[in-house]
Structure formats: C-alpha cells, structure tokens
Amino acid sequence: MIARRWLIVSVALLMLAAAGLSALSRPLPVPPPQEQDDDRPPIIISSGSVILNVATGSWVREAAGRFRQEVVRGKDVKSFTASTGTGGAACSVSGTAILVTYGANAISIGRVLPTGQTTRHAANVRMPADAAVTLKDSRTLVIATTDPLISFTNGSTGPNSTCQVAAGRLEIRQVH
C-alpha cells in the first residue's frame, strides 16, 4: 500500500515537473507586426526654429521649399500618422498628407514618387518657397522662425482631423 502511494506521488511529481519544463521551454509569443517599423522611424518636428529630424535616410533638396526623404531600399510610404502630447493632451490624425501650421506659415508632409521610381513613394516636405531653410546635416532641416508650432491636420473637415501642438513637439510616422 505504501509502495503504491509512493508510486502515485512519484508519477504526479514527475508529471508536474514535465509540465513545468514544457512551459519554460516554449518560445515567448511574438508580438504582432506594427504598421510602422524601423525602416522609417518617425519624423520629429519641434518648435524653436522649426526643426524636422529623421533618424534614417537623408533630406534631399528637390526645389525651393521642397525636400524629399531619401531612404536606400526603403519601403513604400502609404500614409502618415501625426501625434502630439501625452495623457489627456494626446492627439493624433492620419492621412496621405499632414499640414503643420507654424505662425502664419505651413509645412506639408506628403508622398512623392521619386524620379526613376514606379512604385515606391517617399516622404516629401513642402514649405513656403521663401522659407529660411537650411540643411543642418543630412538628417536635419531647420526653418528659421520665431513662430511656434500651432496645429496639424490631415486636410479633412471631419472629427479628429485637426490637433493643437502640445509642448512644441510632434511626431509623424510613415505607414507602409
């Protein structure tokens, strides 16, 4: 009788140990893919002089007041999501173009099909032709102004189409 109890307890402990090892040896779940990835991290826009900064690629001047983000073998840009603030002050809009107002001027961030491309759109920035813009380095555009960032919109008139800039900073993500 004691031998039989010992056998039952031993089998139960062995099954418990096997279940524990099985749980530990399973791979961790893979998080679902995000709409954005590290191929094109966010475009950061901040007040001061208006500063547009990209973590990858470089800004290439196309014409007066027009720059394109060049990312070697980057993914096609389908749309943009712009967001600002945190907590109760958080606000975001999405669309194929985002219009950012600073003072009495505006910057448009949209899609462009670079010369020689047939399918891969890139981010394009348009500002007033007379804007005092400099390329600080290949990843940073600076528009000299004392005007603060005010708002951004996706150009539609519906709800959730316009936000006020919080704390002088916004991020624009490129959706692929």
Strand order across the beta sheet in which 133-137 lies: 91-95, 79-84, 169-175, 43-46, 50-53, 140-143, 133-137
Phi, psi of 109, deg, nearest 5:
-115, 120
Instruction: Give 119's pLDDT tier (boundaries 50, 70, 90).
Output: confident
Predicted model pTM: 0.75
Asked whether the predicted pLDDT for residue 63 surpasses 80, the reply is yes
Q: How far apart are CA 47 and CA 85, in angstroms?
A: 14
CA geometry: angle at 30 spanning 27 and 35, to 5°? Answer: 170
pLDDT, tens digit, 9 for 90 and up, residues 30-48: 444 444 456 678 899 998 8
CA distance linking residue 151 with residue 89, whole number of Å = 13
- List the domain boundaries for the chain: 43-175
* Residue pair 77/122 in contact by the 8 Å Cβ criterion: yes
